[in-house]
Structure 1
Amino acid sequence: MSEFVKRIVLATGGTGGHVFPAQALGRELVAQGYEVFIFSDSRGHLYNDVSFLKVKIPASHFKGSMGQKIKGGIKLIGGVGAALYHLRRLKPRAVIGFGGYASFPTMMAAATLRFPTIVHQADAYFGRVNHFLAPFVTRIATSFPHVENIPTSCQNKVSFTGLPVRPDIKTEPYTSSEKNEPFHILVTGGSQGAKIFGEVIPKAVSLLDPILQKRLHISQQCRSEYIEMTETLYEKTAANVELASFLDHMGERYKRAHLVISRAGASSVVEAALVGRPSLFIPYPYAMDDHQFYNAQQVVNVQGGWVMREKEFTSNALAIYLSELMTSPWKLMQAAANIQAIAVPDASLRLAHLVKLIAV
């Protein structure tokens, strides 16, 4: 392959929270004339985007029994070997990692070969893979201005770029829902824990005054195996409800929303901030290092929304929140303005600029 091609490798974990920001940066780099390769495991390549060339890298975590850990270690070594081969072949100008264990073999290989490298930290708590890689990489990019647990010795590498998001997510004016007007709620469950949303939210709606129930228009992400259960619970209410295992046209859905109820993955927090929609976050309690709680606190700190621990997320508690917010539109208007304080609309451009600074 020609060494004169402007070629960038993006290494990403296998979930949407890792892949989507990588794709957003990739689109910006392609627009600037770069050839972009995405290195990930088989999960990551399920998120199809024909704009990029894809390379499958074996990867595994170190969970489970000793036997599973040994098997994972062997797979990891194989992944590093595969990444070394492909990086030598491609000779990229830089390698950018987006976290997750599937990114580790590529980033370790890139550091070994002394390619310029960046790790992007999506969450407000520095992840374990990135923490291990931090001493070996060229730069560290962050989604939030303050990130916990970055090694002191690596602070001089940090640049706040924001988190690249999907192109249909953009700032939208917030229009309040006044008395007797429709009130739109967008509920995104994330890849984990949607079941509790399907149980708690319909029951909370059933506790509201019937007049408030009739105002509600709810678009709710719900795992397919829980849709029937959730529909049955909503049938006891007067709310207008749409349930789907996958919600498309998210830009339009955010635009209509007066309130977002969501897990607190980095993409969920950043998208709500960018659009400017007040949010109630329920952090996934089993997230590594409780990083979703740290993400939600970014919004709470600027009074752009609220956070409830899952153990506090009961139908009675949520009904109190909903009743107060639906009858106090000024609170939502203020929160909508405040949440945009942590938004970075040009995150893809900022991160692309950092890539260009280190690319050889």
Structure 2
Amino acid sequence: MQKLQGGNGNTGVRPVQAIKRLALAGGGTGGHIVPGLHLLRAAQARGEAPEQVLWFTSGRSVENDVLEGLGETLPQVSVEIVRLPMEAAGGGAPPLTGTLMRSPRSVWMARQALRRHRSQVLLGLGGFMGLPSVLAARILGIPVALYEVNAVAGKATRYLGGMAKNIFHAWPSSLPNSGNTRHRMIGPVIGPEFRPAGPDAERARLRTELGFEGAAPLLVILGGSQGAGALNAFILEQMDPLLSAGWQILHQVGPGRMGPVERAGALSNPGYRAVEYVHDMHRVLAASELVLARGGASTLAEIAVVGVPTWVVPYPHHADQHQAHNARMLGDGIRVVPQERLNGELASELGRLALDRVQLGHMRRSLAGFQSLGAEELWKALGSFLAR
């Protein structure tokens, strides 16, 4: 397995100045928001949290779910959220033509917000929200940085990289072959609340605190911030054999996806709980014995730091298959399962794994020692922009 130290502590940048007014551009999915939350929490742990944050989003409901509670975790930070009208009426990331058509108004809105906020730095977190924000920042002369979270560089990094002072990468596989010094490998950006899981007794205590039986293993289903229909259907179809095998199940179904769970009567099953979104992810992961998840990079980095064995079912319709690449970065602690294998046979394998402490222990040990200083490295690098 590849273990990332997130840099060697030598950033090669000028002395850091305090960032008081930070702008972030990221939305559409939790994967383009969560790294920003991790960064802010890392800055807070250093005693360097910005006074004001301007956050550009698309206005999807999932963004509200992910950002909920931000004021409680960062009470001293004033956060202004600006929705840019980039998304088509039917939802989903717009095609390139749609992005370009909606950009002029969004650039104007972003420019007005950045000027009013007097942002010192703009960090793009990936996704289609980056285009108008980056263009507006460049017009105003505000330094721009990009963060590439995936193991395969996305469109935002490829198209907007030329306008950024630096592009920071979570995984070495997304670095360009050209040796361009503006691209820097820092490791995944992870908040300080994520740390290696404790021994069996500690995990049992956490399960009890979460309302589960402490002695029984916990299987966590994470279909991403928006849920995953295939994973949801699999769990509802195979719930009885999984519960009979000894698993307890915490199921993140995604925003607005509780209907099928309720209609199936699943909530009446002892040992099963469904939520639209998991807010205390670090506690849930630390309490779990196994995760069944999509292959979002932020989620997998969190899983790796905590050290939870995971079966990853990559979303099969991404052209670049980046979720599969994300999963393969983490070696034997992660098993990649094609979506077409979500059936009774796979449920039987999961059932046997509930009692297989040898296999679970091997997977957990394979993830041991994974750590990343990416959040600290990124925060220091952004601060160095102010000294230039």
Q: Same fold (TM over 0.5)?
A: yes
Aligned length: 341
Residue 59 (structure 2) aligned to one of 43, 47, 63: 43
Distance 2:20 2:54 in 1: 14
Write the distance in 1 (CA, Å) between the matches of 2:344 and 2:277. 24
Task: Provide the identity percentage.
Answer: 22
Cα drift, residue 354 of structure 1: 1.5
Paired position in structure 2 for 1:161: 186
Q: TM-score, normalised by structure 2?
A: 0.76
Residue of structure 2 equivalent to 1:285: 316
- CA spacing shift, 1:316–1:192, aligned 2, 3 Å: farther
C-alpha RMSD of matched pairs (Å): 3.3
2:316 aligns to what SS in structure 1?
coil
The correspondence for 2:343, drawn from 306, 310, 314, is 314
| Alignment correspondent of 2:383 | 356
Give the 3-state SS of the residue equivalent to 2:53 in structure 1.
strand
Aligned equivalents of 1:263, 1:274: Cα separation in 2 = 17
Residue 119 (structure 2) pairs with residue 85 (structure 1): no
Q: CA deviation at 1:90?
A: 4.0
1:138 is aligned to 2:145: no
Conserved? CA contact 1:204–1:319, under 8 Å: no
Question: Which is helix-richer, 1 or 2?
Answer: 1
| Matches of 2:245 and 2:96, distance apart in 1 | 53
Q: What SS does the corresponding residue of 2:173 show, helix, strand or coil?
A: coil
Residue 38 (structure 2) pairs with residue 21 (structure 1): no
- C-alpha distance in 1 between matches for 2:248 and 2:295: 22
**Cα distance per residue 1:240-278 (max 9 Å; x no partner):** 222222334333221221111111111210111111101
Structure 2 residue aligned with 1:343: 371
Indicate the residue corresponding to 1:119 in structure 2. 146
Residue in structure 1 matched with residue 50 of structure 2 by the alignment:
34
- The aligned counterpart of 2:86 is 60
Q: Distance in 2 between matches of 1:240 and 1:187?
A: 13
5+ residue gaps, structure 1:
none
Contact map agreement 1:26 1:52 (CA 8 A) in 2: no
How many angstroms apart in 1 are the aligned matches of 2:152 and 2:324? Answer: 9
Distance 1:202 1:42 in 2: 31
Q: Which amino acid aligns with 1:343?
A: Q
Secondary structure of residue in 2 paired with 1:101: coil
Partner of 1:172: 197
Give the 3 Å change call, closer, same or farther, for CA 53–322 of structure 1 in structure 2: same
Distance in 2, matches of 1:214 and 1:234, equals 18
Is the contact between residue 220 and residue 288 of structure 2 (CA under 8 Å) also seen in structure 1? yes
Contact 1:205 1:319 in 2 (8 A): no
Aligned residue type for 2:247? L
Within 2, Cα distance between the matches of 1:234 and 1:158? 51
- 2-side partners of 1:62 and 1:307: how far apart? 32
For the structure 1 residues 317 and 8, does the alpha-carbon distance in structure 2 shift closer, same or farther, using more than 3 Å as the test? Answer: same
1:197 is matched with: 231
Once residues 75 and 228 of structure 1 are traced to their aligned partners in structure 2, the CA distance between those partners, rounded to angstroms, is 38
- What is the CA distance between 1:228 and its match in structure 2? 2.3
Aligned-partner residue type, residue 286 of structure 1 = H
1:100 aligned counterpart, secondary structure: coil
Q: Deviations over 1:192-242 (max 9, x none)?
A: 45332233235445456xxx825221111222112124545995xxx7222
- 2:285 aligns with one of 231, 251, 254: 254
Are the equivalent residues in 1 in contact too, given 2:241–2:347 (CA < 8 A)? no
- Which protein, 1 or 2, shows the higher relative CO under an 8 Å CA cutoff with sep ≥ 6? 2
Alignment deviations for residues 79-104 of structure 1 (CA, whole Å, 9 cap, x no partner) = 11222333344443322110111122
Q: Which segments of 5 or more consecutive residues in structure 2 lack a partner in the other structure?
A: 1-17, 72-76, 204-214
